[in-house]
Amino acid sequence: MNKLAKKIAVVIGGNGGIGGAISTRFAAEGAVTYATSRALAETAPDVAPETGGGRIIPVYADAGRLSDLTQVFSRIREEQGQIDVLVLNAGISEFSMLGSISEDLFDRTFGLNVKALLFAAQGAIELMSAGGTIVLVGSIADTLGTKGYGVYSASKAAVRSFTRTWANELAPKGIRVNVVSPGPTDTAMMADVSDEIRDSLTRLIPLGRLGRPEEVAAAALFLASDESSFTTGAELCVDGGAAQV
């Protein structure tokens, strides 16, 4: 416990699902955790985790709006003066086969999964110093060819590429950058897919089940903490072996 004691963490897309699990785990490990979401009311109260010395501060923000991101980082600058851990989790996934992909679907997916992550990182590094860590939430889709998810997979391949480049660029500042890539995980996003797709994905997992958000959060904690102090530019897959064997 307390692997993030006295740390200031920001989780972009930190309410519900994987992001919510990460926010809760970080707070339980001692971090003051700003969890952004466009689903939160601006007047939402601070939420204390069940254990640990940290807390969750819900922040209303649409990660796809650069003005919202600017306001988030301005608030943190005023209240905390620094960011120690940044998690970039906001993202969407929509099914569409080649031949029926709309411009709007492409713009939505790349706007949130790629553009928002880029500008969130760019805004946060001004508040980060040596010892800081950035954890991107990718997907094993970055290397797979799942039918109907070409746009989503391409966006996650961009996330993997960002990880390598930013790790190289930020190493002189002492900031580490890594990506945790879940496989199929039992979240609301997965609940939206058809039973046929859900079953087909589960059959591809050697461990025979979907992942849990808490398992991804544990991996994110490792990458965010000093436990991974000599790890940067890496991809940590939490997929039950789906893309590994």
Kindly list the catalytic residues: 152
Question: Which residues, listed in sequence order, are joined to residue 185 by a DSSP beta bridge?
Answer: 211
Q: With 0-12 CB in 10 A as exposed, 13-18 as middle and 19+ as buried, what is 191?
A: exposed
- List Cα–Cα distances, 50 to 25, 30, 53, 166, 186, in angstroms: 10, 11, 9, 34, 22
Question: Which residues, listed in sequence order, are joined to residue 209 by a DSSP beta bridge?
Answer: none
Return phi, psi of residue 233, to 5°.
75, 10
Cα separation, 7 vs 245, in Å, equals 36
Cα separation, 3 vs 53, in Å, equals 11
Cα separation, 190 vs 26, in Å, equals 23
Contact 144, 183 (CB under 8 A): no
Cα separation, 237 vs 244, in Å, equals 8
The sign one gets for the Cα dihedral 33, 113, 166, 150 is positive
